[in-house]
Amino acid sequence: MKRVIRSKWFLWMTGVVFILIAAFCVLSFILVNSVSATFETGSVEEKYALPGTYEVDSLEIKDEQGEKLYRVYSPQSTDVMHPLIAWGNGTGALPDNYDQLLRHLASWGFIVIDTYSQTTGTGKEIMTAIEYMLNENEARVSPFYHRIQKDRVGAAGHSQGSTGVINAHTNFENGDLIKTVVSIALPDLKYCDPEDAYDTSALKVPFFVIGGTRDFIISPSDSNKLALRNANLHIPTMMAMAKGAAHTAIEQDGGQHRGYLTAWMRYWLVDDLVAKDAFVGNHAEIGMNKHWKDVTSANLQ
């Protein structure tokens, strides 16, 4: 009798473990895999999801020991100055995770710097990268000498890096160098380490939160809305959730996020009036785009 009971208990426990493993696999698939990006023909989103007009160079910056510090993407130009975007990696991620996306941004006329740090949540690494590039802008021997518009600096980041770009702006002496902040897959505060916790009420520049409907655990719509509600009441803010986008949707080529991320940076850093139509006014494109939901904005009329 005892052997029968033990056999039933073993079978029951095996079944429970199997169900838990299957549920974990399904949940992991949903959270990591996004539906294919789709852009409406002729839309502002499609325009900025397509490559820009510049060919792009990339340069690895190393320290004296040969350790990689930064990767910089820049438009191939000699007599044009460009805005600067600093990128914040997600936990454990490196420039290769975002290579296609950052090349895309550079093709639209931005110089983009990404750090090799895999822990960017405090904002320190992002702020240091910006200061490095602005110093290079003043160094005659640098390939970036007088190529950067110092008053047009943006910061964008993914996951942990999305907290880092907020913190770079709000927690550092030179944070006011950053003129717009974009947080992609911004974690709910309960998932942030204490040193990475962010305070959106301290933001003083236009703020865009981009999320995905499959990212319903780490960066759900409710926590993104809370980040906007807590933000400074006087700054332009926007959030939008891409339908079917998972937590890692921004990696590789940027997925559904690519078009509006590029357009936002073009609007705020280049004064691009075509890009403006995606976000501003009662008929802003993003609010009517069937591939996006939970679009919320303030001070963008």
Number of Cβ within 10 Å of residue 281's Cβ equals 11
Tell how strand 111-115 and strand 68-75 pair up.
antiparallel
Identify the pLDDT of residue 221. Answer: 98
Identify the pLDDT of residue 26. Answer: 37
Identify the pLDDT of residue 24. Answer: 38
> Domain map of the chain by residue range?
33-298
Identify the pLDDT of residue 38. Answer: 95
The pair of structure tokens assigned to 102 is: 């950052």
Identify the pLDDT of residue 33. Answer: 77
The pair of structure tokens assigned to 163 is: 């907290």
82 DSSP β-pair partners: 148
The pair of structure tokens assigned to 160 is: 């942990």
CB-based contacts of 242, cutoff 8 Å, min separation 6: 34, 210, 211, 212, 213, 249, 255, 256, 257, 291, 292
Residue carrying structure tokens 């964008």: 156
CB-based contacts of 129, cutoff 8 Å, min separation 6: 70, 86, 113, 114, 115
The pair of structure tokens assigned to 66 is: 């040969």
pLDDT in tens, 166-197: 999 999 999 999 999 999 999 999 999 999 99
Identify the pLDDT of residue 28. Answer: 43
Burial class (CB in 10 A: 0-12, 13-18, 19+), 16: exposed
Identify the pLDDT of residue 284. Answer: 97
Low-confidence ranges of the chain (pLDDT < 70): 1-32
SS (H, E, C) the chain: CHHHHHHHHHHHHHHHHHHHHHHHHHHHHHHHCCCCCCCCCCCHHHHHHCCCCCCEEEEEEECCCCCEEEEEEEECCCCCCEEEEEEECCCCCCHHHHHHHHHHHHHCCCEEEEECCCCCCCCHHHHHHHHHHHHHCCCCCCCCCCCEEEEEEEEEEECHHHHHHHHHHHCCCCHHHEEEEEEECCCCHHHCCHHHCCCHHHCCCCEEEEEECCCCCCCCHHHHHHHHHCCCCCCCEEEEEECCCCCCCCCCCCHHHHHHHHHHHHHHHHCCHHHHCCCCCCCCHHHHCCCEEEEEEECCC
CA dist 124 and 167 (Å) reads 8
- The domain 33-298: what is its CATH number? 3.40.50.1820
